[in-house]
Amino acid sequence: MTQAEPPGGSPDGRTERGRQTRERIADAMLALLEEGRTRFPADRVAERAGVSRRLLFHHFADLAELTDLAVQRRLDRLMAEVRPLPTSGPRAERVAALAEQRSRILEGLTPTRLAVLRLESPSPRVEAVIRQVLEFARQRLAEVFAEELAGLPEGARADLLNGLDAVTTWSAWHHWRCGGLDVARARRTMEVTVLALLAAAGTAGG
C-alpha cells in the first residue's frame, strides 16, 4: 500500500513550490526596480508577482531582503553567461572576444545597475556582490592579457591593468551608450581602446 501523502503535498513538492514563489516575487521586485521605481508598497510587488501580501512576507522579512535577492538573481543570470575567453593566440582575437562578451553582459547589466544606483542605501550584501563581480572581471583581464602584462615592470603592469579595467567595466560602457553610441559602436570603441592601451604600454606580440 502506498503511504498517504502529507496534507499540502510532499515535503519536496512544497519546498520546490516555495522556491518558485520566492523567485517569482524577486523577479517582480526586480522588474519594478528596473522600471525606475525605488519607492512602492509591498502590495505593488505582490500584485506584480500574482501573490498575496501575506505570502510575500511569509517568504521575506522585509523589502530590503527581497531587493537583495532580486539583484542577486540578475547578477547570477549574467554571470552564467560568462564563458572562457582565449588566453593565448593573436592579440586582436583575444581583444575581440573580450569586447564581445563584455558588451553583451554590460548591456544586460545596465537596468539593474541603474536600479541599484537609484536606491538610497544599497545593502552591504548588494555592494559586496558588486565588488565580487568587479574583482572577477579584473582577474579575467589579467588572465586574457597575461602575456602582455608579464613583459612589463611591476609599476607599468599595474598601470596597464588599471587602464584595461577602467575601459571594460560598466561605467565606461554606460558613458559610451549615454553618449549616443549603439551597442555595436560601443563594442568597437571598447575594442579599439583596449588595443590602444596595449600598444601604448609597449608590449610585444601581435
Domain residue limits at 150: 87-200
What is the Cα–Cα distance from 205 to 166, expressed in whole angstroms? 22
Residue predicted with more confidence, 34 or 142: 142
Q: Are residues 65 and 140 in the same domain?
A: no
Q: Are residues 110 and 172 in the same domain?
A: yes
List the one residue out of 174, 196, 194 whose CA is nearest residue 186.
174
Question: Percentages helix, strand, coil for the chain, rounded to the nearest 5?
Answer: 75, 0, 25
> Is there a domain that residue 35 lies in?
yes
Q: Are residues 50 and 148 in the same domain?
A: no
Q: Are residues 18 and 65 in the same domain?
A: yes
- What is the tally of structural domains in the chain? 2
What is the Cα–Cα distance from 102 to 190, expressed in whole angstroms? 9
pLDDT (tens digit, 9 = 90+) per residue, 119-172?
877 788 888 888 888 899 999 999 999 999 998 999 999 999 999 999 999 999
**Which stretch of DSSP H or E encloses residue 43?**
helix 42-49
Q: In this predicted structure, what is the pLDDT of residue 22?
A: 94
Q: Are residues 127 and 163 in the same domain?
A: yes
Q: In this predicted structure, what is the pLDDT of residue 133?
A: 87
Query: Distances in Å between the alpha carbon of 150 and those of 46, 146, 156, 201, 202?
Result: 53, 6, 10, 12, 12
Last residue of a domain, one of 72, 103, 124: 72
pTM, two decimal places:
0.80
List the one residue out of 202, 119, 115, 190 whose CA is nearest residue 153.
202
pLDDT (tens digit, 9 = 90+) per residue, 93-112?
999 999 999 999 999 999 88
Reply yes or no on whether the pLDDT at 28 is more than 50: yes
**For 40-55, what is the mean pLDDT?**
92
Q: In this predicted structure, what is the pLDDT of residue 10?
A: 63
